[in-house]
Amino acid sequence: MGFDNAYEAITEEVDDHRWAFGTGFVEPLSGIDAALPTGVAGDDVAAYCLMLGDDALIMSHRLQQWLTNAPELEEETALANIALDLLGQARLLFTRAGAADGSGRDEDAYAFLRSEAEFRNVRLVEPVDIDFAGLVVRLLVFSTWRLALLQRLRGTHDPILSAVAGRGVNEVTYHRDYAAQWVVRLGDGTDFSRQRIIAALAVVAPFVDELFVASDIERRLVDVDVAVQPSALRPEVEAVLIEVLGSAGLVWPHGCAANTVAADAPAAAGHDGRHLAELRDAVAELQSVARACPGAVW
């Protein structure tokens, strides 16, 4: 908006009598050149979009499962907002995947018509949350990692990925704030809430190393400046987690130090299509309506 004085702001002629419902909405990705950068394999870009999109879609689904179950109405709306932000990111990424691999598939085809073995999300987003502490700890790790990733992805040579990342940075910054606020609040709360946070950290910890391991596709795309080098995210993610946990007097369960990238680091499990059993139920629920009523719209 940016007016020099208040009179300009109220005399500007805009048909927004319903301004209480919000104004100034913008179309995402409008006016961006959708051509693939030269010398980059479209299939690789599509596969990378699916990794990023599936992370967002499954995390969004897990958040949606909290609706009607959240401890407070206000928290429920917050979780719904975060879920919708991630769903929006997944939609743009799936659409990009369909354009990049030349198949022309739309976002629904990727979300609803793939088997769980075809999903390429990291395993961090797959487990069912045991309790609210489990949710906020996982959301903290996920959004810290995704924010570090999106910040760097803004510099990618793929114009659409860059735009999606630029848009996502503000969204995920808020998600991280939200989760961090709750982790500190519960971690530094009562003995009971602190125990729940410590238990949640132990559940999430085994899935963290995988976030920093590149799949073959990511390695190829890093070479042509399209993908972000996963291992480059580790120092920032660890620093943020140590700081947040530190404010609650907590530590990362397995000595979250920068030298933990070892020879025995895990393969890129989720990005290579190896998943937990929990993903099957999540995907089945996610796709149940689309499978029962193919092509249904409302």
Q: Does 74 bind another protein (CB under 8 A)?
A: yes
Nearest to another protein of 9, 257 (CB atom)? 9
Question: Contacts with another protein in 190-219 (CB under 8 A)?
Answer: 190-192
Size of the chain, expressed as the number of residues it contains: 298
Total number of residues binding another protein (CB under 8 A)?
Answer: 30
Q: Does 30 bind another protein (CB under 8 A)?
A: no
Burial group, residue 99, by CB count within 10 angstroms (0-12, 13-18, 19+):
buried
Nearest to another protein of 4, 74 (CB atom)? 74
57 membership: H or E segment, kind and range: helix 42-64
- Options 11-19, 104-112, 148-156, 210-218: segment touching another protein (CB under 8 A): 11-19
Q: Does 78 bind another protein (CB under 8 A)?
A: yes
Q: Are 205 and 235 in contact (CB under 8 A)?
A: no
Gap between the Cα atoms of 35 and 25, Å rounded: 25
Nearest to another protein of 84, 269 (CB atom)? 84
Check residue 24 and report its DSSP letter. -
Nearest to another protein of 96, 167 (CB atom)? 167
Neighbouring residues of 76: CB distance < 8 A, sequence distance ≥ 6: 66, 67, 68, 70
Residues 169, 172, 177, 178: is their CA dihedral positive or negative?
A: positive
Residues that bind another protein (CB under 8 A): 1, 6-7, 9-12, 14, 16, 19-25, 72-74, 77-78, 81, 174, 177-178, 181, 185, 190-192
